[in-house]
Amino acid sequence: MLLLGEDVLILSHQHPDGDTLGSAFGLCFALQKCGKRARIECSDPIADRYDYLTDHYTEESFVPQMIVAVDIADTQLFGEKLWPYRDQVDLCIDHHPSNTHYARRVLLEADSAATAEVIYEVIKAMGVEFDPVMASAVYTGIATDTGCFRYTNVTARTHRIAADLYEKGAMAGMINRVMFETKSLSRIRMEQLVLSTMEYHFDNRCALIVVTLDAIEQTGITDSELDGISAIPRQIEGVQAGITLREKEGGYKISLRTSDNISATAVCSALGGGGHARAAGCFIAGNLEEAKGAILEALRPELEGK
């Protein structure tokens, strides 16, 4: 394999998710399988639910000859521990169109649903035969970055790779259960709390929930779990704009999710924020009633005009 040398250090991004970890472990196991030394580093600890990967991982000690970053679009995502490597990355394998090209070489496939899709092709090109653990690693990246094949980033190729990974023994049933059918106690408690704050506006076309500082403290919920919470209002039938107001010091952080006909960016930009077409955010200073009033007013022309 022309791209990869000996003694490879693989970097995963901070707050690691299934794609950066699945990509890193898949690549690491493949390199080790063809006799190279490889090691993974990450600024944050790896959650227990990835035990089926970490249990098969042996930390190898060596001075890296090559540094590969996987699924890291920007050095801002390196985190504290990896920060010293930010100028030393030989190769970045990624699927984010926003990749800042900080690495010497970049293998960027922006039409891949996950970096793990690119890793799949890399492992094939290396001529390494997939074993069940490698297949499970790559499957993890693909499944988690596509919401288990639900999102619009999925292509025919995504499914074709998944088919091959099933045949190579990927532990897909277990992975799907752990990643998609399991909620933490904190998450379930937070769901209860936010559902009791649910309000409907504009003939039920807008739903709104509130996450208080008190609720965050009480449940101990993590930021990535809160991201899932913000998706709840928009998922309600008929709701075109889902708002989450998250209490911060001095005001509220707004997360807005919209359906196809409403620009979340436009609404949030008008309030000094920004984001994507269907998911954007902003900060509104003031108390809860003021923040609610401001975001609902900003939404009014979008919802009443349509």
Nearer residue to a second copy within complex by CB, 111 or 297:
111
149 binds a second copy (CB under 8 A): yes
Q: Which of 62, 111, 151, 274 binds a second copy (CB under 8 A)?
A: 151
Among 101, 104, 160, 248, which residue interacts with a second copy (rule: CB under 8 A)?
160
> Rounded to the nearest 10 degrees, how much is the dihedral formed by the CA atoms of 289, 291, 297, 298?
-170
What phi and psi values does residue 107 have, to the nearest 5 degrees?
A: -105, 95
Specify the long-range contacts of residues 279-285, CB closer than 8 Å, at least 24 apart: 279/255, 280/256, 281/253, 281/254, 281/255, 281/256, 282/253, 282/254, 282/256, 283/248, 283/251, 283/252, 283/253, 283/254, 284/251, 284/252, 284/254, 285/250, 285/251
- State yes or no: residue 182 binds a second copy (CB under 8 A): yes
Q: Cβ 136 to a second copy, closest distance in Å?
A: 14
Please tell me whether residue 102 binds a second copy under the rule CB under 8 A: no
- The site map against a second copy for 231-270 (x = CB under 8 A) is -x--xxxx--------------------------------
Is 45 a binder of a second copy (CB under 8 A)?
A: no
154 lies in the site for a second copy, by CB under 8 A:
yes
Token pair, residue 1, equals 């394999």
What is the spatial distance between Cα 48 and Cα 51, in angstroms, rounded to a whole number?
5
Smallest distance from a second copy to CB 143, Å:
8
- Interaction of residue 183 with a second copy, rule CB under 8 A: yes
Instruction: Give me 7's structure tokens.
Output: 């003694």
Q: Which residues bind a second copy (CB under 8 A)?
A: 148-152, 154-160, 162-164, 166-167, 172-173, 176-177, 180-185, 188, 191-192, 195-196, 198, 204, 232, 235-238
